[in-house]
């Protein structure tokens, strides 16, 4: 990607992993081991969605929230109407770097609550 990834410190904490960064929705998606793990977002629109998004499932929210009390749903994905599978740590959170560092530690330990295998894309018919 041409633009520098926001919250560059994430890459330092995930350093031992063989990661790939891909553009997604004008953000930076971080992959490792065939899974999407995180999205780093810092854009002018929907500033309430700026921060680090965590790829997880609703079944893991309660247990993750015990370790990451500031984590909340990425409401821009549901127009603010409902809980989403994606969770986030907002860039303005008092413990932002500490919480994101904790997420990275969980990833490095192989925590199954974080990471999703992306759905395969269907090839477009010509």
Taking the C-alpha atoms of residue 99 and residue 117, their distance in angstroms, rounded to an integer, is 23
Entry pTM: 0.90
Average pLDDT of 43-51? 95
Out of 2.60.40, 1.25.40, 3.90.1150, 3.30.160, the CATH code matching 9-108 is: 3.90.1150
Is the per-residue pLDDT at 45 higher than 90? yes
Nearest to 34 by CA among 119, 123, 121, 124: 119
How much is the average pLDDT of 103-119?
95
End-to-end distance of the chain based on CA atoms, in angstroms? Answer: 28
Residue 108 has, within 13 A of its CA and on its CB side, a CA count of 14
Query: Phi, psi at residue 72, to the nearest 5°?
Result: -150, 170
Q: Are 75 and 93 in contact (CB under 8 A)?
A: no
Q: Which residues are CB-contacts of 14 (< 8 A; sequence separation ≥ 6)?
A: 30, 32, 37, 104, 107, 108
Q: What are residue 13's phi and psi, to 5 degrees?
A: -70, -30
Q: pLDDT band at 1, cuts 50/70/90? A: very low
Q: Where are the domains of the chain?
A: 9-108
- CA-to-CA distance for 50 and 40, rounded, in angstroms? 8
Mean per-residue pLDDT of the chain? 92
Model confidence pLDDT, tens digit, residues 13-27: 999 899 999 999 889
Q: 73 near 84, Cβ under 8 Å?
A: yes
């Amino acid at each position: 990607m041409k633009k520098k990834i926001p919250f560059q410190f994430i890459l330092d904490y995930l350093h031992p992993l063989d990661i790939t960064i891909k553009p997604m929705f004008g953000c930076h998606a971080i992959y490792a081991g065939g899974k999407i793990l995180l999205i780093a977002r810092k854009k002018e629109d929907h500033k309430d969605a700026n921060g680090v998004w965590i790829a997880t499932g609703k079944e893991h929210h309660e247990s993750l929230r015990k370790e990451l009390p500031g984590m909340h749903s990425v409401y821009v994905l549901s127009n603010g109407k409902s809980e989403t599978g994606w969770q986030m740590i907002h860039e303005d959170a008092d413990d932002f770097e500490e919480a994101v560092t904790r997420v990275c530690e969980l990833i490095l330990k192989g925590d199954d609550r974080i990471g999703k295998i992306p759905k395969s894309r269907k090839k477009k018919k010509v």
